[in-house]
Chain A
Amino acid sequence: DIQMTQSPSSVSASVGDRVTITCRASQGVDNWLAWYQQKPGKAPTLLIYTISTLQSGVPSRFSGSGSGTDFTLTISSLQPEDSATYFCQQAYSFPRTFGPGTKVEIK
């Protein structure tokens, strides 16, 4: 199985800040990398797939980048509604695997 790691495990930032979350895969996943947002008690929602394709309806302040084994989710200007846990997921091989999550809090 491909192992996914994320850093940091949590981050606290102010409204308007730029926030960057890193995801690393234990082996190359080509461009098959997705990001999700999950709020407490809710199902995850898809933000980005194939590294940088923004899912319909997702605000443009979210962006993804990276290649091979190292990927980044960036929130360009943090908003109060962005307080959530963010997960990366590889879609390169079976079984699909997720990272442990990064909790984003608003100061």
Chain B
Amino acid sequence: QVQLQESGPRLVKPSETLSLTCTVSGGSISPYFWYWIRQPPGKSLEWIGYVYYHGGTEYNPSLKSRLTMSVATSKNQFYLNLTSVTAADTAVYYCARGVFNGYDFGAFEIWGQGTMVTVSS
């Protein structure tokens, strides 16, 4: 079955860039929407944004000025870059696949296990 795996640095210094990769195994990148969602310790979930398999994106306005998402279909991977990080960006970061049946249902049916990223000097 389809599995997602996040990878990247667990510790990032303030003002630097947080870069994560999500590797999709057991299935294809197309024709799905691919999401990043984060969860600060002890808090609820925050939708970061999505990248569509052909490269289209939609970002959370609260993060948009610092955010870039991209996809590499040949590698079955998609990516998150968040610049100028602060302690407020400390969270578990999840990648996820959207429910899609010819249409994006806006819900997240397959999740990675999550990776805890801490912003600290």
Please list the residues of chain A having a beta carbon within 8 angstroms of any beta carbon in chain B.
32, 34, 36, 42-46, 49-50, 55, 87, 89, 91-92, 94-101
Question: Taking the complex as formed, is B32 at the interface, i.e. its CB lies under 8 A from any CB of chain A?
Answer: no
Q: How far is the CA of A32 from the CA of B107 in the complex (A)?
A: 9
Contacts of B112 in A (CB 8 A): 43
Q: How far is the CA of A45 from the CA of B47 in the complex (A)?
A: 15
Question: Taking the complex as formed, is B60 at the interface, i.e. its CB lies under 8 A from any CB of chain A?
Answer: yes
Q: Which 5 residue pairs of A and B lie closest in terms of their CB atoms, listed nearest first?
A: A91-B106, A49-B107, A34-B107, A43-B111, A96-B47
Q: Nearest chain B CB to A37's CB is how many angstroms away?
A: 11
Give chain B's interface residue range (CB within 8 Å of chain A). 20 to 34
- B107 partner, pick from A43, A89, A95, beta carbons under 8 A: A89
CB of A98 within 8 A of CB of B106, answer no
Main secondary structure of the interface of A (DSSP, over half): loop
CB of B45 within 8 A of CB of A44, answer yes
Other contacts beyond A46-B107, A50-B107: 10, CB < 8 A: A32-B105, A43-B111, A43-B112, A50-B105, A87-B45, A94-B60, A95-B49, A95-B62, A98-B47, A101-B44
Name the CB-closest residue of B to A100: B44
- B106 partner, pick from A34, A42, A99, A101, beta carbons under 8 A: A34
Q: Nearest chain A CB to B53's CB is how many angstroms away?
A: 18
Subset of 29 A-B contacts with CB under 8 Å: A32-B106, A34-B107, A34-B108, A43-B94, A43-B113, A44-B94, A46-B99, A46-B107, A46-B108, A46-B109, A49-B105, A49-B106, A49-B109, A50-B105, A55-B99, A87-B44, A87-B45, A89-B107, A91-B106, A94-B58, A95-B47, A95-B49, A95-B60, A95-B62, A96-B47, A97-B47, A98-B44, A99-B44, A101-B44
